[in-house]
Amino acid sequence: MQLQQRLFELTPASFTPHVLHSFEQNFRETNCYADLVIELVHGLGLEPVACLGYTLAADFEGDQWTFGKPSHHDLESLYGIRIEELSLYRRLLDQIATQLQCGSVPLLEVDAFHLPDTAGIDYQTSHAKTTIAITYMDVANKTIRYFHNATFAELKDEDFDGLLMPLISAQKGYLPPYCEIVKLDFVKIRPAHELRAIAFKSAQFHLKKRPFKNPIERYGLGIEAHQQAIIAGGLPAYHAYTFVALRQLGSAHQLGAHFLRWLHADDVNLHIAATAFEQISATAKMLVLKLARVSNSGKPADFTTIFSEMSAQYEIASRHLKLALA
């Protein structure tokens, strides 16, 4: 119960993000779900790097990279954390209150328009679907505290109403948002060697899902057409594309490198694979900047050599992962 209490008593002032979300990373944020799970696990005083084995199976999905999330099975095996869907059949505000009273953390899909931590991006300017983890709610003072991306923040008043009591919810045909609950009844701290042993088996499982055909090579075949779409769509298309493609590619390999080095720092094969992952992440960050120039100039660039080198790093990583984990 002490671990859970630590999480529910967290405040924005006392929050320090995990090193995975430091500004030294190529990609400080990955996606809303993965980031909040990392910080939620960190907030419990547990080691979030252990749950990053899913990154080994990252794939090119035809028009984006895998929107990676820590496996629910891994979270339960490593930490005793269970995630279940919550069926919303009553007023959203009341159901969130019930779950918090039960000691669970609601994971709620919301509109970033009402999230102050997105100031300068979506807050009060544009509507974007995202997920938050709510750890505290004061209905009388219309206040909640929540994990979102790499932050832990607080919102209140009009944002509270917009998030939990939107005007549209009173209309016929209103579709409630998707919601899950993080159940913490069986949370436990495992010794480091035990955690690594479980994570090693997880890595073996996720490695079996690694694409047979080099996905970076497949991605490179379509990059010219993607550039034309960015040029035609302007800045909004550029931001949307780099989030679903390059950020997911780069952040998955960045997190994967951390995972491999943590899993066994002295394993030569894992060290080589982690270095290759880091090269891929750094190249993805570089491509984000190069595509910004493409968007601004309206002139496509030749990325053949860059994708050839990145594909080679993927092959190196795959070969050494098999040697280390097979």
pLDDT tens across 230-262, in order?
999 999 999 999 999 999 999 999 999 999 999
Diameter over CA atoms, the chain: 61
For the chain, list the strands marked E by DSSP: 82-85, 105-111, 129-138, 143-148, 151-156, 179-183
Residue 217 tokens read as: 């090579």
1 has pLDDT over 60: no
User: Average of pLDDT values for 111-119?
Assistant: 93
Average per-residue pLDDT in the chain? 95
197 has pLDDT over 90: yes
CA pair distance 42, 49, nearest whole angstrom = 9
